[in-house]
C-alpha cells in the first residue's frame, strides 16, 4: 500500500498487526526453526513447509481482523 492511512486507520492497523503477531507467534517460531534447520538450502521440502506455515499465519490474520469487526448480537428469540 503506497498511500498513508488516516490516523484512526493507522492506529487500527498497528493494533491488528500486534494481534496477528501474538496469535501467530508459534508459527513464526516454526518458520525460523525450519529456516535454521535447512541451512543454506531452504528449497524443496522446506520450501513447501514454509509455505504451509505462512498460509496458517494468513488464516490467523484474517481471523484476528474478523474478530475485531464482530459485533455483539443476540440470538433470535
Q: Which long-range contacts (CB under 8 A, 24 or more apart) does 11-15 make?
A: 12/68, 15/68
Instruction: Enumerate residues 6+ apart whose C-beta is below 8 A from 69.
Output: none
pLDDT surpasses 80 at 34: yes
% of the chain at pLDDT higher than 90: 74
pLDDT surpasses 60 at 26: yes
pLDDT surpasses 80 at 36: yes
Cα of first residue to Cα of last residue in the chain, in angstroms, is 44
pLDDT surpasses 90 at 70: no
Amino acid at each position: 500500500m503506497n498511500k498513508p492511512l488516516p490516523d484512526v486507520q493507522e492506529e487500527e492497523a498497528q493494533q491488528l498487526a500486534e494481534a496477528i503477531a501474538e496469535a501467530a507467534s508459534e508459527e513464526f517460531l516454526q518458520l525460523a526453526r525450519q529456516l535454521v534447520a535447512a541451512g543454506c538450502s531452504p528449497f524443496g521440502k522446506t520450501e513447501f513447509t514454509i509455505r504451509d506455515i505462512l498460509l496458517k499465519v494468513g488464516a490467523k490474520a484474517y481471523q484476528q481482523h474478523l474478530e475485531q469487526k464482530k459485533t455483539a448480537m443476540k440470538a433470535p428469540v
